[in-house]
Every structure is written in structure tokens, then in C-alpha cells.
Amino acid sequence: QFVLLCACVAVLLLLPFALPLQSGIAMALQRYPLLLSLGAGLLAIVILNSRIRYAGVVGLMVLCLSLAILNATSGPHTWRHRTDDPAFQKSALLSIVDSVRVVQELDPKGNVFFWYDGDGKLGHLYRSVASTYLWSYRLQSEDFPSLGLKLPPVGRRILILAEDGAGALRQAEVSLHREGLGAEFMTKRTIHQGPFHWDMIEIQVKAKADEPAPGTG
């Protein structure tokens, strides 16, 4: 039983590091690191103070999980710091270079506008891509899915940078639809270098089709 307990503790401690970056659990850990760690720690204390049989073993495992979450989300080689880690700088640079090449291929005249979440995990990398094209002049919004202060005119081509391309496209369509506009999907390219992975979706803003009158089709 002692060996089994040690094995379970080891698995719990290593589990956060083994999760893929794009998994739902990993995304939740990145979004609410302190909350989840604190919650697991409090749960462990409650379990350890209970008089239920084997509660001590369960409580110890939950406590180890809490410490593992805290360690995985605060260390220098973890998700939140991965884009700043020197070990990943080459991959980050290559991702930016690949993205710039895609932009040059899709829009050689430099007329495309950028739309992304600048506060997201990869926001500063998206900003690096956009800044090569004077992003202050070619920026739709850094608050994706918000359209920003100025609505895009019909015909504008926009490049959305996001980790989940399909989900981002749906969000973009909802935002445009809310303002009486639509989106025509043009193309999608994927950037993948080392731990960095995102989609580049090109859309063209169009006037939203009028809703058919009831009973007319």
C-alpha cells in the first residue's frame, strides 16, 4: 500500500506537466492557476480533518495535486512562461517568421488588417507579427472578439490570429453579425513551431444578407 501511495503521489505531481498545452484541463489551469490550487488545498485540509476511513490517503493525494498545480503554473519552464523561456525563443521567432511569410503570400500589397486577443497567452507573439506591418495603421482590434472602436467597412480583409481557428471564426461571425455585418471565409493557414501553435484565418467583411420576410421562402 505504501508503494502504491508513493506511485499515486508521483503521478499527481507529474500530471500537470504531462498535459498537452491545448487540452481543456491545461487551458483551465492556465486561466485559474491560484484558484484551482487554493481550492484543491482547502479540499485536502477538509479531507484530512475528517474521520472517514482512508481519508488521510485521499487527503494527501489531493494535497499533492494542489502543490503540483501551483508548481506547474508558477515555475519558469511552465505554460504561463513558456513564450518567454530562452529555451523556446527560437521556436517563437520561427513562428513569427512563418506568420509574416503567410501574410506576404495572402496579401502582398499589405492591405490586410489584424484581429487578435493581445492579452491572451500568445498575444505578444501576435503583436510581433502585426507590428511588422505597422499595426497601428493595420489593426482591427487587440481585444478579439471585440471589433474595437471602429467598425470595419464592407470589403475589408481581416486576418484573425487565434489558437482555435474554428472557434475564433464563429466568434468573429457573431461579433460582425451583431453590428449588421457578415464575414466571408477566405482561407486558413496553420503556424506550428515547437510548443507554439495558432491559426491564421482570413475573412472579408460583407454586408449581412437581409432576413427573408416571413412566408417568402
The 10s digit of each residue's pLDDT in 123-178 is 888 988 888 766 556 889 999 999 998 999 999 999 999 999 999 999 999 999 99
**Are 121 and 175 within one domain?**
yes
Looking at the structure, tell me whether residues 143 and 111 fall in a common domain: yes
- With a threshold of 0.75, does the pTM exceed it? no
User: Please, what is the angle between helix 33-49 and helix 24-31, to 10°?
Assistant: 90
Residue 66, domain member (yes or no): yes
CA 125 to CA 86: how far, in whole Å? Answer: 15
The reply to whether 43 and 144 lie within a common domain is no
Cα Rg, the chain, nearest whole Å: 23
Same domain, 180 and 203: yes
pLDDT at residue 78 greater than cutoff 70: no
Residue 148 Ramachandran class (φ > 0 left, ψ -120 to 50 alpha, else beta): left
Question: Would 81 be classed as within a structural domain?
Answer: no
> Is pLDDT above 50 for 65?
yes
**Segment 91-105 mean pLDDT:** 88
Reported as type and span, the H/E element at residue 17 is helix 2-18
Kindly state whether residues 123 and 53 are assigned to the same domain: no
Name residue 199's amino acid: D
User: Do 14 and 48 belong to one domain?
Assistant: yes
Same domain, 64 and 116: no
Residues 203 and 117 grouped into a single domain: yes
Give me the pLDDT at residue 76, please.
43
Task: Domain of residue 197: give its range.
Answer: 86-207
Place 81 in a pLDDT band, splitting at 50, 70 and 90.
Answer: very low
Same domain (yes/no): 55, 146: no
Band the pLDDT of 54: cuts 50, 70, 90: low
Q: How many domains does the chain have?
A: 2
Residues 49 and 91 in one domain: no
Identify whether residues 66 and 103 lie together within a single domain.
no
Which run of H or E residues covers position 113? Answer: strand 113-116
In a domain, 182, yes or no: yes
| Domain end call among 50, 74, 98 | 74
Q: Are residues 118 and 138 in the same domain?
A: yes
Percent of the chain past pLDDT 70, that is, above it, reads 57
Q: Does residue 99 form part of some domain? A: yes
Q: Is residue 53 part of a domain?
A: yes
pLDDT exceeding 90 applies to what percent of the chain?
Answer: 31
